[in-house]
Amino acid sequence: MNTPCRKIVVTSALPYANGDIHIGHLVEYIQTDFWVRFQKMRGNECVYVCADDTHGTPIMLRARNEGITPEALIAASHDQHTRDFAGFEISFDNYYSTNSPENRRFCNAVYEAMLKSGAVTTRSLPQLYCGHDQMFLPDRFVKGTCPKCGAQGQYGDACDVCGQTYAAEELVNALCAICGRAPVTRDSEHLFFELEPFRDFLKQWIPAHTAPDVANKLLEWFNEPLRGWCISRDAPYFGFEIPGHPGKFFYVWVDAPIGYMASLQKWCEDHKQRFEDWWQNPQAELYHFIGKDIVRFHCLFWPAMLKTAAFKTPDKVFVHGFLTVNGEKMSKSKGTFVKARTYLDHLNPQDLRFYYACKLNGTTDDMDLNLADFANRVNSDLVGKIANLASRGAQMLNKRLDGLTGSMDAEGRELHKRAVAKADSIAANYEARDFSKVMTDIRDLADQANQYFDAKAPWTLVKTDPEAARQVMTSVLNVFRVLAIYLQPVLPSFALKTSRLFNEDAYTWEALGSTVENKRINVYEYLATRVEQSAIDTMIDASRLT
């Protein structure tokens, strides 16, 4: 049933320390957690690392506005993020920070390799400079009128109205977004990582390590020479100063992906492992889970950086789409821009994990959280079909037959056999990240078990033939146990309560090979509760206020 043990490193994109985790972010971390938990259930060595992305001008300015140091700001953010992730049962093996000594060492090593390769060049660039704030202004700290369509209040990189991209210097009536004064243009020398020398490598690497639709989009960049990537930013800047260049700092997108390596290094140090045995091991596997908005950084710049420094590139970059709510972009005014903490204050986190699993299919398609459908699926499928099997069977067995299972009857044993026979296809769908197919199979098996239970009517049978009723309840509980094992990557607490019900250890995939017969069960713990519309409404109202 199991493949030979694999050695796997898994990462999710690093959340920025300047903001809260919200339900859109959770699409990524929850699905990555599904996949990692599945790998561990199968007996594979799988390490899931992540970190807060902590550098950049927004961090520096927010800390200044709050009258605290950037270090204090990112420490508070780290605490909040780890609490939110834990609240949704997202289990990192190491959750770190890009503002770490390990990350600085890796950044310097990668940069030194870039220099030696000849891929780093210098150019003088015109930039907007605010004399009042005494700083060069990043694109998002400039506002003005779009030079294309005339829309006012647009940022210095792209127009939200017409979609035009441009340099900040092209904005009409540009103003500093910090103080509101007009900036001036000054030249500043910057460092660039040239991508054109990696054209042939990237052209082969991209289709081999990304999905076809992702590869096709990326390869559009190859219709013209690949542009160099500016990897430096001017002081003042919260980040790592570039060796040999006082007053110049690594652009946040340089040290952010390197943060994956730093987080793994920290895990290795804490667990007496060697980094080389994981990241650099040809037999080990490396996977990134990311959103489609950051594909360019992970599939153009990042593999080129890794190749330059002789580090292994990811085996695959798994790309997912965005989250919409009720068919629309998340909206603060409509209360559908829901922070993780706001959700946790009002609803059960396992319900969101369940719903996301029902919708995720391993593609880059956007996913919609329809709140009416969310309540219906949880109430109908998780509560009414799946958990209901354990509730009906276990409570009746404890109440009427001393909590002792017997053996399965012939029909029940055949139903159990069919459920276990789904193991390989369910495992294949977990591996392919097609979680919606996993959930469809589980729901279908639950339907069959409920039909069997209803047809046998053990609540009546127990009055005339208690042992026959015991066989029915034993059968349905054993089928439910199989479903709980299949669900463990999605609903870890649900599965843990199930193992306690049957006096078992936490489940591995191999637990599918055993049954619970002629054994005493424990008192039933409620596994799932209905989603009430009033709780959803209260959450939406609270989201409008935050």
Bridge partner residues of 121 (DSSP)? 192
**What pLDDT shows up at residue 3?**
56
What tens digit of pLDDT does each residue of 229-284 get? 999 999 989 999 999 999 999 999 999 999 999 999 999 999 999 999 999 999 99
Enter the tokens of residue 533: 């519309």
Count other Cβ atoms within 10 Å, centred on residue 311. 18
Q: Rounded to whole angstroms, how far apart are CA atoms 405 and 394?
A: 9
Q: Rounded to whole angstroms, how far apart are CA atoms 184 and 409?
A: 83
CA dihedral of 112, 238, 269, 302, whole degrees rounded to 10: -50
Range 511-526 average pLDDT = 97
What tens digit of pLDDT does each residue of 147-174 get? 999 999 998 888 888 878 888 889 999 9
Q: Rounded to whole angstroms, how far apart are CA atoms 350 and 87?
A: 10
What strands, in cross-sheet order, belong to the sheet with 135-136?
135-136, 120-130, 184-193, 229-230
Count other Cβ atoms within 10 Å, centred on residue 253. 20
| Residue extents of the structural domains in the chain | 1-119+194-320, 383-513
Domains 1-119+194-320 and 383-513 share a fold: no
What tens digit of pLDDT does each residue of 76-130 get? 999 999 999 999 999 999 999 999 999 999 999 999 999 999 999 999 999 999 9
What tens digit of pLDDT does each residue of 40-84 get? 999 999 999 999 999 998 899 899 889 999 999 999 999 999 999
* Contact by Cβ (8 Å): 118, 277: no
What is the residue-wise DSSP string for 469-491? HHHHHHHHHHHHHHHHHHHTTT-
Averaged pLDDT score across all residues of the chain: 96
383-513: what fold? Isoleucyl-tRNA Synthetase; Domain 1 (1.10.730)
Q: Tell me which CATH code domain 1-119+194-320 carries.
A: 3.40.50.620
What strands, in cross-sheet order, belong to the sheet with 323-325?
328-329, 323-325, 367-369
Judged on CB neighbours under 10 Å (0-12, 13-18, 19+), 229 is buried
Enter the tokens of residue 139: 């694109």
Question: Measuring CA to CA, which residue among 271, 230, 286 is closest to residue 253?
Answer: 230
Query: Which pLDDT band holds residue 2 (cuts at 50, 70, 90)?
Result: very low
Q: Rounded to whole angstroms, how far apart are CA atoms 209 and 288?
A: 10
Higher pLDDT, 139 or 20: 20
**What pLDDT shows up at residue 177?**
87
Which residue type occupies 370?
Answer: N
Q: Rounded to whole angstroms, how far apart are CA atoms 536 and 335?
A: 10
| pLDDT over 80 at 415, yes or no | yes
Q: Rounded to whole angstroms, how far apart are CA atoms 11 and 9?
A: 7
* Contact by Cβ (8 Å): 520, 404: yes
Could you give the residue ranges of the DSSP H alpha helices within 422-532? 423-431, 435-456, 458-464, 466-487, 492-501
Q: Rounded to whole angstroms, how far apart are CA atoms 401 and 470?
A: 7
What tens digit of pLDDT does each residue of 320-364 get? 999 999 999 999 999 999 999 999 999 999 999 999 999 999 999
What is the residue-wise DSSP string for 316-348? EEEEE--EEETTEE--TTTT---BHHHHHHHS-
Q: Do strands 135-136 and 120-130 pair parallel, antiparallel, or not at all (unpaired)?
A: antiparallel
